[in-house]
Amino acid sequence: MQIPEDAVLLRIFLGENDRFEHRPLYEAIVLKARELHLAGATVLRGPMGFGHSSRLHTAKLERLSEDLPFIIEIVDSQEKIDGFLPVLDRMIESSRSSTLVTWEHVKVLRYGQS
């Protein structure tokens, strides 16, 4: 699989407790991206964050992991990302989560082995 040099980075911010069809939303999104043959996806777990509600989510011991922030990053061609967005929208709407989705143009310097 080849990603064009000019690609799109899709970034999805969500919470650890967000669910889609009885599984974590982050897991469902990554599995759907794989099923649709996107180039790859990475899930990052944040130790601390807040969203539109300004409620602080932290991994500090006194609070013990209260819905920690997760970020999913997916890089692929604009065409492939554009095709994935309606699927992602349905998943987020169904989960009723407070999710932020951003995308930006990126330059791919290297993907896989030469």
Looking at the 3D structure of the chain, how many domains does it have? 1
In a domain, 19, yes or no: yes
Based on the number of CB atoms within 10 Å of its own CB, is 10 exposed (0-12), middle (13-18) or buried (19 or more)?
Answer: buried
In a domain, 40, yes or no: yes
In a domain, 1, yes or no: no
Domain holding 82: CATH number? 3.30.70.120
pLDDT at 1: 67
Per-residue pLDDT of the chain (114 residues; tens, 9 = 90+): 678 789 999 999 999 999 999 999 999 999 999 999 999 999 999 877 777 776 766 666 555 556 789 999 999 999 999 999 999 999 999 998 889 999 999 999 887 775
In a domain, 114, yes or no: no
pLDDT at 82: 97
pLDDT at 21: 94
Q: Using only C-alpha atoms, what is the Rg of the chain?
A: 15
In a domain, 95, yes or no: yes
In a domain, 16, yes or no: yes
Structural domain range at position 51: 6-107
